[in-house]
Amino acid sequence: MPSPPANKITIWLWPTGLFPRRLIYYLRAKRITLSALTAHNIHLIPVILDTATPKLDAKEGYEKKPEGMSLPCMRVEHVGEERIEYVHESLAIVGFLEEVFGGTGGEDAQAQGCGNIMGSTPSQRARTNDILSLLAEATVYANIALIHSDPTTLFWSGLTSSAMSASTAVDASRRFHNMLSKLEGWVEKDVIKGQMSSLSGEGSAVTLADVVLMSSVTYAEDHNGVGWVEGHEGLTSWCERVKGCVWWVGAEGLRGCEESGWGAVLAE
């Protein structure tokens, strides 16, 4: 008896954006190729920034981004039920894809050292969740510090120039760096001094903690010209090591997605 048709999944991604690049790093870490996505009826739509507007929308020739949706966003069309659902958060989309691909990814994901993106053991998964929680808080403080100190953010921050507050920026920056210092303390012994590849410890497997931190680091470098972990020597050293890993891709590769398609980073 033939299998029922898979639900149609559509994901809109702005490749050089902060949260969408988490999905690109995830797909690369898992070695999930375009053909594997297509086989599961999953379709990626590239979104680009029109700097003249400024507005984010799908590249010409693709279905437009759903009105009012932030990026990334995922639409699930339930075949035969006439029911549509949306998933809005990057980590929720990652969780969905983990279930679709059984937590294993492409055929050679294991050889690369990436099975379950949350970690291969209970303690590693607990540490991944610890770090994700801390990075979520750090990201909030980093964004508050940025929008209260950088006038170029006014077009998307929702603030007016008169609402920007230098003292708020200073306080948020202090809290942000406190979060990074805490993270550095957690990983100092095994990851920084022990030269482990993953923030989650216990070997070299890529985890979502690594993906999320590197997304923030590279986005800050590419869009704001700042070092997200600047002043934190151990984390800076780790980030430079990770830039040599096969799953990482820099600004040029991400821009290639916007210019020439997903083959730039999700080759077969």
Question: pLDDT (tens digit, 9 = 90+) per residue, 33-63?
Answer: 999 999 999 999 999 988 777 789 999 999 9
User: Do residues 141 and 80 share a domain?
Assistant: no
As a whole number, the mean pLDDT across the chain is: 90
Give how many domains the chain has, as a whole number: 2
Band (pLDDT 50/70/90 cuts) for residue 79 is confident
User: Do residues 110 and 65 share a domain?
Assistant: yes
Cα separations (Å) of 205 from 21, 54, 97, 131, 263? 19, 39, 18, 15, 24
The CATH code of the domain that includes 173 is: 1.20.1050
User: Do residues 151 and 224 share a domain?
Assistant: yes
Please give the residue range of the domain that contains residue 55.
8-114+251-264
Residue 3 lies in a domain: no
User: Do residues 255 and 235 share a domain?
Assistant: no
Cα separation of 248 and 173, whole Å?
27
pLDDT at residue 195, rounded to an integer: 87
pLDDT at residue 101, rounded to an integer: 87
Residue 133 lies in a domain: yes
User: Do residues 235 and 132 share a domain?
Assistant: yes
The encoded tokens of residue 211 equal 């993906």
pTM summary value: 0.91
Residue 2 lies in a domain: no
Nearest to 217 by CA among 228, 232, 230: 228
Q: Are 46 and 257 in contact (CB under 8 A)?
A: yes
Look-up of token digits 């600047």? 230
Whether the per-residue pLDDT at 180 is higher than 90: the answer is yes
- Mean pLDDT across 8-17: 95
